[in-house]
Amino acid sequence: MSLHVVKTANVLCPSDVLDDLGKRAGSGEGECQMRGRAISKANCVNTGIWECSPGSFDVLNRTNCESVIILSGKVRLTDLLVEGGGAVQELGAGDVAVLEKGSSVRWEIVETARKMYVIAPEKMSE
């Protein structure tokens, strides 16, 4: 199927409807218990819903490009490639972030957060 539709009710579903993904590997402070549901794993992109309880973890040297829309909760993202410590960006419901291939970012989940994501193998051409 080439068309994938996600109804708002499915994005805002209760947490127990999402699949238990366990604790985030390599997490620092906090539990970082994850839940999620894949929407599509097409040839060119993966899309889905992901939720995580408070805690922190680093994603180093991304091998793909990810765009996220924060649906609920609060997260802080720190660019780890900036010398002397990157600027911290605080995101909440409705905010969008793009994490490019090769980036290194610390995720701090301040309040249980849910995002919708689109992951592509590489940055799209302009």
CA 97 to CA 91: how far, in whole Å? Answer: 8
Looking at the chain, the whole-number percentage of residues with pLDDT higher than 90 is 55
**12/39: higher pLDDT:** 39
pLDDT of residue 6: 61
pTM confidence score: 0.83
**Region 2-19: what's the mean pLDDT?**
67
Token pair for 40:
């599509």
What domains are defined for the chain? 12-120 (2.60.120.10)
- Spatial contact of 32 and 44, defined as CB atoms under 8 Å apart: no
Check whether 101 has a pLDDT greater than 80.
Answer: yes
pLDDT of residue 111: 97
- Spatial contact of 57 and 30, defined as CB atoms under 8 Å apart: no
Tokens 């720190």 belong to which residue? 78
The DSSP result for 48-117, as a single string, is: EEEEE-SEEEEE-S-SSEEEEEEEEEEEEEEETTSTT-PPEEEEETT-EEEE-TT--EEEEEEEEEEEEE
- Averaged pLDDT score across all residues of the chain: 85
CA 106 to CA 85: how far, in whole Å? Answer: 11
Looking at the chain, the whole-number percentage of residues with pLDDT higher than 70 is 85
